[in-house]
Amino acid sequence: MSVQTLYSAATGMTAMETKLDAIANNLANIETTAFKRGRPNFEDLFYRHEPIPGAQDSAGQFAPTGISIGLGSRVSSTQTEFHQGAFQGTGRELDVAIEGPGFFQVIDPSGDTLYTRAGNFSLNANGELVMGSASTGRLLEPSIQIPPDATAISISAQGVVSVKQPGSPNLSAVGDIELVTFINPEGLLKLGENLYAETDSSGAPTTGTPGEDGIGLLRQGFLEASNVEPVRELIDLITTQRGFEMNSQAVKAGDQIMELVANLRR
Q: Tell me the average pLDDT across 75-92.
A: 95
As separate numbers, helices (DSSP H) first and strands (DSSP E) second, the chain gives 2, 20
Amino acid letter for position 123: L
pLDDT (tens digit per residue) in 216-228: 999 999 999 999 9
Percent of the chain with pLDDT over 70: 98
pLDDT (tens digit per residue) in 112-147: 999 999 999 999 999 999 998 877 889 999 999 999
How many Å apart are CA 182 and CA 3, to the nearest integer?
47
How many Å apart are CA 223 and CA 132, to the nearest integer?
12
pLDDT (tens digit per residue) in 87-116: 999 999 999 999 999 999 999 999 999 999
pTM of the model: 0.87
pLDDT at 22: 96
- Alpha helix locations (H) across the chain? 2-28, 230-262
How many Å apart are CA 176 and CA 213, to the nearest integer?
17
pLDDT at 266: 63
pLDDT at 258: 84
